[in-house]
Amino acid sequence: MTDVFTDRLQAWRDYCELPYPRIRYAVVGEVLRRHATALGERLRVLDVGGGDGRDSITLAQAGHEVTIVDPTAAWLDEAQRRAAEAGTRITTVVGGLDDLPDGTWDLVICHYVLRYRPADAADVAALAARVRSGGRLSLVDANPDGAVLGALLREGPAAALAELESDSTHTVTFDHDVRKVAPGDVETALDAEGLRVVGRYGHRIANDLRIADAATDDPSAYDALLRLELALCDREPFHRVGFAWQIVAERQQ
C-alpha cells in the first residue's frame, strides 16, 4: 500500500528544485547550524518526521550523529540515498510521534509535522521528553499570519479575509487538508514542558511578499534574495510575517 506522501514523492523532488523551497532549506540550514555550533561537537540529532532528510543531512555532513524517524519507508529510502550522495551516513527508523525511540538527544528537530496531527495530541510534550538537559528542540510550521498576507497579494482582500477566518489550510504539494498551528500556542506548550525559547525565526519573508514579475524568474536574483532572507529571518518584526515560523527552545539545565 502507498499513502499520500509516497505517491507525492516525485512531486516533492520537483518542488524542491524551485527557488522558494531552496530558500526555505537554506535559511533553516543556517539556523540549525548556529544552534548546533552553540551546543558543541558530535551531537546526537533526532529528526522527527524528517522524510527525505533535507533538514538534517547537512548536520550529518558536519559530523553529527543523525537519526531520522518517519512513518513512510519510501521517504526514508530517499533519505538514505541522499545521504549516500552527500558522502555521509544516517540512521533511519520507521515511526512517528506516537512511537518515538527511547532516549534523549542533544538536538531534536520536528518540522512541518504538527499540522498533520490533532491539536490535543500532546506532541510538544512528547518531543520535549526527548531533549536532554541543556539540549534544544527546533519546531517549524506554516505561519497563519503570513498566509493572510500571501492570500492578499495573490488573490485579494476577500481571499485574505477567508484565510484569516479559516482554521485549516490545504497543502498543494501533498494535496492534503491540515490544521493551522499558531506559534504562540507552541510557545505556551514549550513553557509547560520546561523549555525556554532561545530563537524565533521566519522563512520566506521577502520572497512571499514579491509580486511575480520577470525578476522572480531570474536565476541571478536568487543569491541576493537569499542574503536578504538570512538578514531578515531573526529580526523583529519581519520574522512574524513569513510563510513559516521556526522556534528553537532549550531545556533548562
pTM of the model: 0.92
The verdict on whether omega for the bond into residue 237 sits within 30 degrees of 0, i.e. cis, is yes
Residue 168 lies in a domain: no
What average pLDDT does range 181-191 have in this prediction?
97
Residue 147 lies in a domain: no
Residue 172 lies in a domain: no
Reduced to 3 states (helix: H, G, I; strand: E, B; else coil), residue 224 is: helix
Residue 214 lies in a domain: yes
The bridge status of strand 91-94 relative to strand 168-171 is unpaired
Residue 89 lies in a domain: yes
Residue 63 lies in a domain: yes
Nearest residue to 191 (alpha-carbon basis) of 103, 133, 252, 253: 252
Residue 166 lies in a domain: no
pLDDT 10s digits, 208-220: 888 655 455 566 7
pLDDT 10s digits, 193-252: 999 999 999 999 998 888 655 455 566 788 889 999 999 999 999 999 999 999 999 998
Phi and psi at residue 182, to the nearest 5°? -85, 135
CA distance 25 to 112: 12
Structurally, the chain folds into a number of domains equal to 1
Reduced to 3 states (helix: H, G, I; strand: E, B; else coil), residue 42 is: coil
Nearest residue to 139 (alpha-carbon basis) of 125, 151, 153: 125
Report pLDDT for 4: 53
Residue 79 lies in a domain: yes
Domain region containing 9: 4-142+182-251
Report pLDDT for 176: 81
CA distance 49 to 109: 8
- State the CB neighbour count (10 A cutoff) for residue 146: 22
Nearest residue to 76 (alpha-carbon basis) of 42, 101, 48, 99: 48
75: CATH: 3.40.50.150
